[in-house]
Amino acid sequence: MIQGPRVRLRGWQQAAVALGSAVGALVDPRRADLIAALGETTGKPAFERVLERMKRNPEGKEILLDRPRVISSNVGHAWDLPENTFGAAYAKFMGSRNFSPDDRPPVRFMETEELAYVAMRAREVHDFWHTLFGLPTNLIGESALKVIEFQQMLLPMCFLSVIGGTARFSDKQRSVFYKHYFPWAVRAGMKSTDLMCVYYEKHFHEDLEEMRQRWGIIPAPPIYG
What residue numbers does the annotated binding site for Zn(2+) cover?
A: 126-127, 130, 142
- Residues near 90 by beta carbon (within 8 Å), at least 6 away in sequence: 75, 78, 127, 128, 131, 204
User: By the 8 A CB rule, do 46 and 122 touch?
Assistant: no
Phi, psi of 44 (to 5 degrees): -55, -50
In this structure, what DSSP letter does residue 80 have?
Answer: G
Strands (E), the chain: none
Binding site as annotated, residues: 126-127, 130, 142
Question: At CA 67, angle to CA 62 and CA 69, rounded to 5?
Answer: 130
